[in-house]
Amino acid sequence: MNGELTDYDMYLFHQGTHHRSYQMMGAHLMTRNGVPGVRFALWAPHAREVRVVGDFNNWQGHRHVMQRVNSCGLWCLFIPGVKPLDLYKYEIHTAQGDVLLKADPYAFYSEMRPGTASKVCSLEGYNWQDQAYLEQKSTLPVYERPVLIYEVHLGSWKRGCNGEFLNYCELAEQLADYAADMGFTHIELLPIMEYPYDPSWGYQVTGYYAVNSRYGSPQDFMYFVDYCHRRGIGVILDWVPAHFCQDGHGLSRFDGTPLYEPANPLRAVNRQWGTLHFNFARQEVISFLISNALFWFDVYHVDGLRVDAVASMLYLDYGRAEGQWLPNQYGGKENLEAVAFMQKLNEAVFRFFPDALMIAEESTAWPAVTKPTYLGGLGYNYKWNMGWMNDLLRYMQLDPVHRKWHHNLLTFSFLYTFSENYILPLSHDEVVHGKKSLLDKMPGDYWQKFANLRVLYGFMIAHPGKKLLFMGGEFGQFIEWNENQSLDWHLLDYEMHRRLHRYVKELNHFYKSEKSLWQLDHQPAGFQWIDPHDYNQSIITFLRRARDPLEYLIIVCNFTPVVREGYRIGVPRAGDYLEVFNSDGLCYGGSGQLNRRVAAEHLPWHNQPYSAVIKVPPLAVVFFKPVK
């Protein structure tokens, strides 16, 4: 990672095709003529002069003036004697006569806020122990594997005794062990790139290549990922290429001019979030961003990126009123440069890391988000199903007596579930800013709130698509998520929270054990309606199938608190059916309305050749499996 700048490197960087630009840019420890030091490289095309300042020169840069090495604005300087963890910034003298102090866009490590300086850091030398995990995940496409994602904000999952942050090493051993025990397959981290403002949760970044200093060093984070992999847990990072914050030490007007952002404020400024959009028409920015995506896979062995705010990149009028945006060259609202960037991004990621997860948080009806770029798609392999989430949470917040009038909110998602490769998210955005926690959203008395949450989780597990649950949801966090404090783990001292926790754990492990629930997640052959029409009783019944046609589950969901005795459902084959999971079990806090084993009769029902009579428990989901 410490090679010299070559003409070819510079050519690729300015063409937007340098996929490892972090190996040429930034601060790299090296030895020249037997003298150890650091080579600094920076892109600042409109700067009149650039100096390196730091604690190694008392922040006086007159002795360390960088040399401009090409006409496109690359600057370079080797400084002998600079050591790991030395602080530094770039002193940029603009064409307008201003002097700016900027953090290194390619810095691998930074001061913890409120400090804003970059730190010299080597990323080499860590002894990875995750080869077995990396080889195992390449044996089967992710589409045919169970995926259960535990979404986590590291600063508030757990804290130390005095409210201090846990470091990556402590979090590795606590969080990965916990996630594995609970049956999750992946942990998704809210952004861990360096950011200045805690309430942004990491979505307003200043250091795209710098691992978050709140929780430790780059080597500590390598240990975190390595330990997760050794426990069989994949690691997904939230990544924010849509916009960046306007803090003075960051990317905003980096060399005194709009550089990383578009020049026109109607394109640059995101008024909704007070941030700046990236300029996807500038090739050096493309090199910066695509290299950054690959960096996290390459250097830190992460398994995927969840790309934040994709809709804000796709649409020029996103969050803007009339007169506040500029159309594209054809008069439309589509951001053609952003579309091209995302296609190039995904092509590069899958070229180098074919087993990667590239997940779009995309909230509109933009077509072919998860289709290949050669078919005109954006090239992601997964998309959050925001429509499913919004419809279902709206439905679940209704009093059960009114749900029959809104049955379409429950069934509509099945009409489009195979149009993209979907992840079903119950994410952090749904439990903040007055939206209430998932448990507190649920209507009814104390018992019904927990029962509603159990049927919600059971329905999510049964629905086609991979799954995501935000931390705290697994034990029924009652208050909204607060990034300034730990989750309310003390709730596990209370019986209903403890039983919900057990329910989620056993539901997760049940999901992983049943191929019917994930092997054909993205194929119509993996799903079949039995009865979507019983709106009057707010019950739906459907099949999930594995590749083996004899391996299937029948799922019955009851969204009212009424027990239905003698309820007949159609089944495809003769024989006995075993109730293999029931969310109404006493051990989960339910009422104990169980079925055990039921026999199919040769009586056609629900367009099936056979049928069986079951008991439908209240506010519950039941899974039946044919007895072989």
Q: What is the per-residue pLDDT across 103-133, written as a single tens digit (0 to 9) for each?
A: 999 999 999 999 999 999 999 999 999 999 9
pLDDT in tens, 452-490: 999 999 999 999 999 999 999 999 999 999 999 999 999
Region of 219 (left: φ > 0; alpha: ψ -120 to 50; beta: rest) is alpha
pLDDT in tens, 334-343: 999 999 999 9
* Rounded Cα–Cα distance for residues 244 and 273 (Å): 10
Query: In whole numbers, what is the pLDDT of the chain averaged over residues?
Result: 96
**pLDDT tens profile 378-412:** 999 999 999 999 999 999 999 999 999 999 999 99
The residues near 76 (Cβ < 8 Å, ≥ 6 apart) are: 5, 39, 40, 41, 42, 66, 67, 69
- What residue ranges of the chain are covered by domains with CATH 2.60.40.10? 7-119
Whether 361 is catalytic: yes
Cα 294 to Cα 20, 28, 102, 305, 352: the distances in Å are 7, 18, 24, 10, 8
φ, ψ for residue 486 (rounded to 5)? -70, 155
What is d(CA 314, CA 478) in angstroms, rounded to the nearest whole number?
36
Burial 442-479 (b: 16+ CB within 10 A, else e): bbeeeebbbbbbbbbbbbbbbbbbbbbbbbbbbbbbbe
If you write DSSP's letter for every residue of 325-337 in order, what string do you get? ----TTS-SB-HH
Calculate mean pLDDT across residues 593-616: 96
Distance between CA 244 and CA 252 in Å, rounded?
Answer: 8
Q: State how far the Cα of 439 lies from the Cα of 477, in Å rounded to an integer.
A: 7
More confident residue, 616 or 161: 616
Mean pLDDT (whole number) for 530-536: 98
Determine the 3-state secondary structure of 554 from DSSP. strand
3-state secondary structure 346-398: HHHHHHHCCCCEEEECCCCCCCCCCCCHHHCCCCCCEEECHHHHHHHHHHHCC
Q: Could you tell me the fold of the domain covering 148-241+294-308+335-517?
A: TIM Barrel (3.20.20)
Alpha-helix runs per DSSP H in 246-360: 265-268, 283-300, 310-314, 336-352
**pLDDT one-digit tens code per residue, 253-293:** 999 999 999 999 999 999 889 999 999 999 999 999 999 99
| Chain segment 168-205, per-residue pLDDT in tens | 999 999 999 999 999 999 999 999 999 999 999 999 99
Give the dihedral of Cα atoms 514, 519, 525, 530; nearest 10 deg: 20
Q: How confident is the model at residue 157 (pLDDT cuts 50, 70, 90)?
A: very high
CA distance 395 to 406: 7
Burial class (CB in 10 A: 0-12, 13-18, 19+), 257: middle
Kindly name the residue from 9, 86, 308, 534 that is annotated as catalytic.
Answer: 308
Task: Encode pLDDT of 398-452 as tens digits.
Answer: 999 999 999 999 999 999 999 999 999 999 999 999 999 999 999 999 999 999 9
Using CA atoms, how far apart are residues 318 and 299, in angstroms rounded to an integer? 34
Element (H, E) at 90: strand 87-94
C-beta contacts of 510-514 below 8 A and 24+ residues apart: 510/461, 510/580, 510/581, 510/623, 511/146, 511/148, 511/183, 511/461, 511/467, 512/146, 512/148, 512/183, 512/185, 514/546, 514/553, 514/580, 514/623, 514/625
Band (pLDDT 50/70/90 cuts) for residue 321 is confident
Beta-sheet strands, E only, within 7-86? 26-32, 35-43, 47-54, 67-68, 74-80
Question: What pLDDT score was predicted for residue 191?
Answer: 97
DSSP assignment letter at 506: H
Residue with tokens 């650039």: 50
Q: Give residue 127's Cα distance to chain centre.
A: 27
User: Is the separation of the CB atoms in 562 and 582 below 8 Å?
Assistant: no
Q: Which residues, 6+ apart, have CB-to-CB distance to 471 below 8 Å?
A: 150, 151, 152, 153, 157, 481, 487
The answer to whether 270 touches 264, Cβ cutoff 8 Å, is: no
Q: Are 87 and 170 in contact (CB under 8 A)?
A: no
Is the backbone of residue 193 left (phi > 0), alpha (psi -120 to 50) or beta? beta
Active-site residue (options: 361, 362, 420, 514): 361
Residue 386, Cβ neighbours under 10 Å: how many?
18
Helices 218-230/283-300 angle, 10° precision: 60
**Cβ-contact 50, 15 below 8 angstroms:** no
For residues 314 and 334, the answer to whether their CB atoms sit within 8 Å is yes
pLDDT digits (tens, 9 = 90+) for 41-72: 999 999 999 999 999 999 999 999 999 999 99
Report the distance separating Cα 564 and Cα 562, nearest Å. 6
Distance of CA 537 to the CA centre of its chain: 36
Helix (H, G, I), strand (E, B) or coil at 537: helix
Question: Does domain 524-626 sit in CATH 1.10.3720.10?
Answer: no
Query: Does the pLDDT of residue 144 top 90, yes or no?
Result: yes
Angle at which helix 446-462 crosses helix 386-396, to 10 degrees, equals: 150
- Contact criterion met (CB below 8 Å) for 33 and 42: no
Q: Return the sign of the alpha-carbon dihedral for residues 168, 171, 173, 177.
A: negative
Start-end ranges of CATH 2.60.40.1180 in the chain?
Answer: 524-626
Residues of the chain within CATH 3.20.20.80 domain(s) are 148-241+294-308+335-517
Q: Quick check: 16 pLDDT over 60? A: yes
Look at residue 3 in the predicted model and tell me its pLDDT. 58
d(CA 289, CA 287): 6
Block residue for tokens 């009783």:
537
- Pair of tokens at residue 172: 């590795």
pLDDT tens sequence across 80-101: 999 999 999 999 999 999 999 9
The whole-number pLDDT of residue 152 equals 98
For residue 528, the model assigns a pLDDT of 98
In CATH terms, the superfamily for domain 7-119 is Immunoglobulins (2.60.40.10)
Q: Are strands 576-582 and 620-626 parallel, antiparallel or unpaired?
A: antiparallel
Indicate whether 1 pLDDT > 60.
no
